[in-house]
Amino acid sequence: MPLGTLDRTPPPFFKQGPSALSKLVVFSALALFLMVADLRFEVARPVRAGIATALYPLQWLVMQPVQAMAGLGGYFTSLHSAQRSEGEALKRLATQADRNLQLEQMALENRRLRALLAMRERTGSRAMGAQVLYDAADPYSRKIVIDRGQTQGVQAGSPVIDESGVLGQVIRVYPLVSEVSLLIDRDMAIPVLNVRTGVRSVAYGQPSTKGDGMELRYTLASADIAEGDLLTTSGVDGVYPPGLPVARVTLVARQAESSFSRIEAEPLAQVQGALHVLVLEPAGATLPTSPLTNAVRAPVAVERPGARSSAP
């Protein structure tokens, strides 16, 4: 074969195209042209819209697990936040309820103290404020213990009242506390006066499982007394000042086989829930001295025989 007929071109495997620098320049110019055209004429907007529409189902499918995990995390976060808010709300509610209870108790105590001060002005005698500590432990009596004793000048037999009326009488005095027997105790008796009729009688304590009260014993069936009559202290015993409210008549039962009536009364004082009381000075301690007593106590001048009188 003649040498002139040989093809001296390189094989296709080693065939080279445009240079890399040429391609870089061409594609850079094309990119720059497209950016300028898209900026000025928005030529790529339909292309982007079409690509976004075509890829939306794939994008939605890929985002589902992510949204599911985010929703699950948000659910647990919201549940924890709701539980914490509920706990805080319950704590605030309990605090408000406790504060409301304290306010109601303070309001009740304030009203009772105001009424107690009014009762003190009404009695017109010296009085000492005291607080009820507890009820006596004896189940067969009706007694309370107050926080005033010999150190504060409390005397045995002193009347004790609350904002509504007579509560009882001091029976034992200790250095720091005193024991008060209530009107409803079976060993207590107090002279009373019917305000409507002016009739005097004696009211006795009548403790009962159905309800503690008082009774007027040995009252004739013909006596003028009716339900609702107000009983006050008569003052004849020298212990209780006259005019203090004691009880109100609740039952008048006239019995045919007896000449006496069964009369029951309800104490006006808070015998079951007294908080603050007044200890009065016994009425006998403030009674004026009679002229006869002063005459007996006054020294008598005895004239001795032979003594000269200085009188003219």
Tell me: the pLDDT tens digits for 77-110? 888 888 888 888 888 888 888 777 777 777 777 7
User: Taking Cα atoms as reference points, which of 191, 202, 204 lies closest to residue 242?
Assistant: 191
Q: What is the pLDDT of residue 312?
A: 34
Per residue in 178-205, pLDDT (tens digit) is: 999 999 998 899 999 999 999 999 999 9
d(CA 229, CA 250): 8
Please give the model's pTM, rounded to 2 decimal places.
Answer: 0.58
For residues 103 and 177, state if they share a domain.
Answer: no
Q: What is the pLDDT of residue 141?
A: 83
Instruction: Name the band, by pLDDT with cuts 50, 70 and 90, for residue 245.
Output: very high
Number of domains comprising the chain = 2
Confirm whether 95 is domain-assigned. Answer: yes
Confirm whether 219 is domain-assigned. Answer: yes
Confirm whether 107 is domain-assigned. Answer: yes
Per residue in 135-166, pLDDT (tens digit) is: 887 777 889 999 999 999 999 999 999 888 89
For residues 271 and 142, state if they share a domain.
Answer: yes
Sequence-ordered strand ranges (E) for 92-185: 127-135, 143-146, 159-161, 166-173, 178-182
Q: Give, as one character, the DSSP assignment of residue 102.
A: H
- Joined together, the tokens standing for residue 255 give 């019995």
Confirm whether 13 is domain-assigned. Answer: no
Confirm whether 300 is domain-assigned. Answer: no
Whether residue 12 is predicted with pLDDT greater than 60 in this model: the reply is: no
d(CA 115, CA 96): 28
For residues 46 and 131, state if they share a domain.
Answer: no
d(CA 54, CA 58): 8
Instruction: Report, as an integer, the average pLDDT of 218-229.
Output: 89
Q: What is the CATH number of the domain that holds 176?
A: 2.40.10.340
- The alpha carbon of residue 19 and the mean position of all alpha carbons in its chain are separated, in whole angstroms, by 96
Residues 148, 160: contact at Cβ < 8 Å? Answer: no
Confirm whether 3 is domain-assigned. Answer: no
For residues 210 and 279, state if they share a domain.
Answer: yes
- Joined together, the tokens standing for residue 86 give 């509920």
Phi first, then psi: give them for residue 143, nearest 5 degrees: -135, 155
Instruction: Report, as an integer, the average pLDDT of 269-289.
Output: 75
Q: How many CA atoms lie within 13 A of 144 on its CB side?
A: 25
Q: What is the pLDDT of residue 230?
A: 95
Confirm whether 15 is domain-assigned. Answer: no
Residues 6+ apart with CB under 8 A from 92: none
For residues 137 and 105, state if they share a domain.
Answer: no
Q: What is the pLDDT of residue 309?
A: 39
For residues 70 and 97, state if they share a domain.
Answer: yes
Whether residue 232 is predicted with pLDDT greater than 90 in this model: the reply is: yes
Whether residue 61 is predicted with pLDDT greater than 70 in this model: the reply is: yes
- Joined together, the tokens standing for residue 257 give 């086989």
For residues 264 and 132, state if they share a domain.
Answer: yes
Q: How many CA atoms lie within 13 A of 167 on its CB side?
A: 30
Confirm whether 7 is domain-assigned. Answer: no
Looking at per-residue pLDDT, the higher value among 116 and 1 belongs to: 116
Sign of CA dihedral 121, 123, 128, 134: negative
Whether residue 303 is predicted with pLDDT greater than 50 in this model: the reply is: no
Cβ atoms < 10 Å from Cβ of 209: 5
For residues 107 and 154, state if they share a domain.
Answer: no
Q: Name the residue range of residue 28's domain.
A: 21-123
For residues 193 and 277, state if they share a domain.
Answer: yes
d(CA 147, CA 177): 5
Question: Residues 277-306, buried b or exposed e (16+ Cβ, 10 A)?
Answer: bbbbbbbeeeeeeeeeeeeeeeeeeeeeee
Looking at per-residue pLDDT, the higher value among 309 and 284 belongs to: 284
Whether residue 311 is predicted with pLDDT greater than 50 in this model: the reply is: no
d(CA 288, CA 271): 32
Cβ atoms < 10 Å from Cβ of 39: 10
